Chain A
Amino acid sequence: GAVVSQHPSWVICKSGTSVKIECRSLDFQATTMFWYRQFPKQSLMLMATSNEGSKATYEQGVEKDKFLINHASLTLSTLTVTSAHPEDSSFYICSASRQGASEQYFGPGTRLTVT
């Protein structure tokens, strides 16, 4: 149990366009979902925390108008990178936790390349 999927696994987009990444908990209800960004050979950097039906809480320095997060159901959260630029190229990973739990289960990640 505790499987989290992400789609797409790899996406290439042109500068100025928007791209949406989906994160799904497949076999449990995720009351809280998290979005991370990871640069090569670095640890994970938390971008935002989202609770189902509520607005996401963004970490300091993360532009909420650029990285739109929606957590519309207990099994789905989406991250939309708006007006993407080459510096947004990175590995984006989501995680999910059950109600009453502290451990997080991670998705396989999405590699975004902006040309």
Chain B
Amino acid sequence: QKEVEQDPGPLSVPEGAIVSLNCTYSNSAFQYFMWYRQYSRKGPELLMYTYSSGNKEDGRFTAQVDKSSKYISLFIRDSQPSDSATYLCAMSWGYGNKLVFGAGTILRVKS
């Protein structure tokens, strides 16, 4: 079993839809949770960063962390074709520690 599980998709949605992306993990020591967006042939871009359980909102993006269920989510509201990319969840134990990544979910938003 992988430490972090993420459905690779692809996930296809119409423009304007609400997108839900999820990851589950097995290591209860993870404290920091991140979502990155990666376009083809580019480096990942940090979208959301949360510490421990709870919700965090930034524009059209909302990140949720449920440590009791070892489950994290990223919601994208009013999805746009420009949101089409690979979304990677990542988590770590603490400062300066390496990140453990999910496999990445390919998202396609159709206009």
CB distance from A106 to the nearest CB of B (A): 4
The number of chain A residues with a CB under 8 A from chain B is 28
Which of B11-19, B77-85, B90-98 lines the interface with chain A?
B90-98
Are B41 and A104 in touch, CB under 8 angstroms? no
CB distance from B105 to the nearest CB of A (A): 11
- A6-46: CB near B (< 8 Å → 1, else 0) gives 10000000000000000000000001101000000011101
Q: Which of A102, A105, A107 contacts B94 (CB 8 A)?
A: A102
Q: DSSP class of B's interface residues: helix, strand, loop or mixed?
A: loop
Which of A60-68, A69-77, A79-87, A93-101 lines the interface with chain B?
A93-101
Q: Count the A-B residue pairs with Cβ separation under 8 angstroms: how many?
A: 59
Give the residue name and chain of the B residue nearest to A6 (CB). B43
Are A100 and B95 in touch, CB under 8 angstroms? yes
Q: Assess A102 versus B42: contact at CB under 8 Å? Given A43-B88, A43-B104, A44-B101.
A: no
Residues on A with C-beta less than 8 A from B97 are 102
How far, in angstroms, from A108 to B32 measured CA to CA in the complex? 23
Residues on A with C-beta less than 8 A from B95 are 97, 99-102
Residues on B with C-beta less than 8 A from A42 are 103
Residues on A with C-beta less than 8 A from B101 are 43-44
Q: Which residues of A contact B (CB under 8 A)?
A: 2, 4, 6, 31-32, 34, 42-44, 46, 49, 51, 91, 93, 95, 97, 99-109, 111
* 7 pairs from A and B in contact (CB 8 Å cutoff): A31-B96, A44-B88, A46-B98, A51-B96, A102-B31, A102-B32, A108-B42
